[in-house]
Structure 1
Amino acid sequence: MKDVYLITASFVGEIKRDFRGYVKMAAKAGYAGLELFNCIYGGFGPQELKNYLASYGMTAISAHVNVEDTDSQLSYLAEAGCRYVVCPMLRVESRDDAYRKAELLNALGQKAKAAGLRYAYHNHDNDFDVYDGKTVIDIFLENTDPKLVTFELDAAWAWRAGVDAADFVNRHAGRFDLIHVKETSRVLGPEDDMHALFAGAKREPDGRFILTPEMEAKFKERQKINCKLGDGIINMPELKKAADAQGVKAYIVEREYAYTGDNYTTILADREYLSALE
């Protein structure tokens, strides 16, 4: 696996505190480039960002952009050299809402295409919620135009919903340009509800939650499901086989938790694990 990217959402908050250090860390670990996140570009203009990443031998392949920010970001991302703009998630309340959101994805895909970009949708576990016999993600897959919308399968969120990521890719061959690589030690249960955990918690100016000692302890325990690649429930070799067979364009590491205790050695271990799958 030669071209592996790193999303800057990894180690949430770090990219805001030290953008340049983050880029250097990713380059040192051997990543081909970045997937940008939340309109955080280090204060660079689009061409400046492209040149800065190029100075480290990297590119920005894609960017996670909230739906409401899409229009304002398309020209920046195209000029910065991105190939994809990715919807990080959508809240869906019903089957009818899922069909409406599929049409929204088509509309955003048309805008992205006009800007020279490809639009993608990134799943979470809630995208496998079932309404009247169909999952949200199946409704999206069946009701979006493949010429306008591709998908970025997050392997861990699929498995956390109890869905085998490799089987899912095989069932929908041709729809996945991007794969988010991260590990999970188990399927999620009611005890993993983050909304309940953070209920009433205040936030720092940068968006981080201010946790009580009890919240902190529960959160740290929950984060341990983000274990080392190959040590969890995901069969990464099978996922790679399925994804490669259907023409995936890039693998993107997302690391929610530094299981080694250090950000750099964690993403380095992820990169080395993926290199061994070649």
Structure 2
Amino acid sequence: MKSKKVWLITGAGRGMGVDIAKAALAAGHQVVATGRNTDKVANALGEFENLLVVKLDITSSADAAAAVKAGVERFGAINVLVNNAASFYAGYFEELTPEQIEQQLATSLLGPMNVTRAVLPVMRRQRSGQIISISSSAGLSGFEFGSAYAASKFGLEGWMQSLQAEVEPFGIDTIVVNPGFFRTELLTEESTHYAEQSIEDYAERRAQLMQFWKGYNGQQSGDPAKLAQALITISEQEKPPHRFVAGADAIGGVEQVVAVLQQQINAHRELSTSLAYGDS
């Protein structure tokens, strides 16, 4: 086995977070498993000598600082942070309220920032660490009915890529994970919230898409336990990738994004390259 590490995992009471925590424990690592409901986290994972369950609402900077402090006090370090906690606000942009969009950003963008901000001083002192943030295929390609979610994931992507350049000199790696459709609990009623407003122009398409999203829960092709094991494998690599596209469907989607971008570049290459100052 590779050297034992301390993993701090957000959203470890349900969904993919449970699988990641179980995989890390099975690999012999020490785990700080966090969630808003500690009883739920403890019940999902069971009892282990190398497990610490800590309350963490990722939208609270104070909770983030307290969780990191508790982890360091118990295990002496934080080697791997997994920003996993997530929610999904689905709906047409016009129908989503400003409050719903703010809640989406608070959970999927500002929340990971809060926890990472609390962890970075520890990793800088160690001169080592990994920050794994679970993004989505929606972090690379927006989709109808997912404007708020995609905005949060696009933001996560830009932040993580920029952060890599800032923390690499301290021996810290960032890893963005872009999963396709995995059979997690993201599409359950507890995690998915729909637009509160109704605009007649969107009514027909809204009905079709709500039927799709509600019916797709439990039908996703990806196995979250296998993804969790893949993250363990990647983390143990001497030089882990800065991006991991997870799932055959995700790879297909990303390849399409790349092809469309190349097509758009080529379509206006002559105009684009004629814009230098002083060009006639």
TM-score interval, smaller chain: 0.3 to 0.5
TM score, norm. by length of structure 2:
0.37
TM score, norm. by length of structure 1:
0.37
Q: Larger % of helix: which?
A: 2
State the structure with more CA Rg.
2
